[in-house]
Amino acid sequence: MKVIYILWLRQLKRYFRSKARLVGSLGQPLLFLVALGFGFGPIFQKAGGGNYIQFLAPGVVAMGILFTGIFTGVDIIWDRQFGFLKETLAAPVSRLQIMLGRTIGGATVATIQGIIVLLLTFAVGFRLDGMGFASIVPAVLLMFVIALLFTALGTAIASLLQDVQGFQLIMNFLVMPTFFLSGALFPLEGLPRVISDIASADPLTYGIDGLRGILTNSAHFNMYTDVLVSLIVMVVLVAIGSYLFTKIEI
């Protein structure tokens, strides 16, 4: 447990020490909120969709978590190249504890990112429906599940790669379709069958839909389905990430 705590704390220190990384990671969510929220808002409202900011905000929050969580895998590659990972793996502790510490730390950072983005949404007009501010606690818990899911995915992929460039190429190929096909920017009703099937297979779809259900009381799926699918995929990816991390060769 001590190893997990130390590595968790190390991830947090990395995040808060890098002010450029902290500020830069907020740029894209803000761009989506302002440009898309106000740009497509009138069109969305005329189409009978209501307030687009209300629809868009949970998706943008999840986007902040997705990008922050999955790109924590880069830290593994950097640590491998600079020798820190070798020293860590040589310590008399199990690799599983090391992986869990890094993953929980990365997920905590991604959750903090999601909370910051959520606070920013209030500045552009987002309002909580349903339970009001009482919905913040379950929303943060679901954010942490989403963060664990994608941090574990980033760890699994980084465990197989040797260089940052390869990781970035794979992540761009994976992350952008995961986000754009998740229903973050458009409703899931009335989609072509192929797009609907892809969205249903996208784990981020259920995370975003769950956040919409909690924050705005407008889930597409059943809330229990959203939470259950997110938890199952999270457990599977943590297990896969743990296995691949234990097989890293230095």
Q: Which amino acid is at 222?
A: N
Start-to-end C-alpha separation, the chain: 24
- Contact yes or no for 230/210 (Cβ under 8 A): yes
What does each of the 250 residues of the chain score in pLDDT, given as a tens digit? Answer: 666 767 667 766 666 666 556 666 677 888 888 888 888 888 877 777 788 899 999 999 999 999 888 888 777 777 777 666 666 666 667 778 878 888 888 899 899 989 999 998 998 888 887 667 788 999 999 999 999 999 999 888 888 877 777 777 777 788 889 999 998 888 888 888 898 999 999 999 999 999 999 998 888 888 889 999 999 999 999 999 888 888 876 6
- Cα radius of gyration rounded to whole Å, the chain: 18
Task: Tell me the HSE value of 46 on the side-chain side, using a 13 A CA sphere.
Answer: 5
Instruction: Determine the Cα–Cα distance for residues 69 and 106; give it in Å rounded to an integer.
Output: 6
pTM of the shown model: 0.90
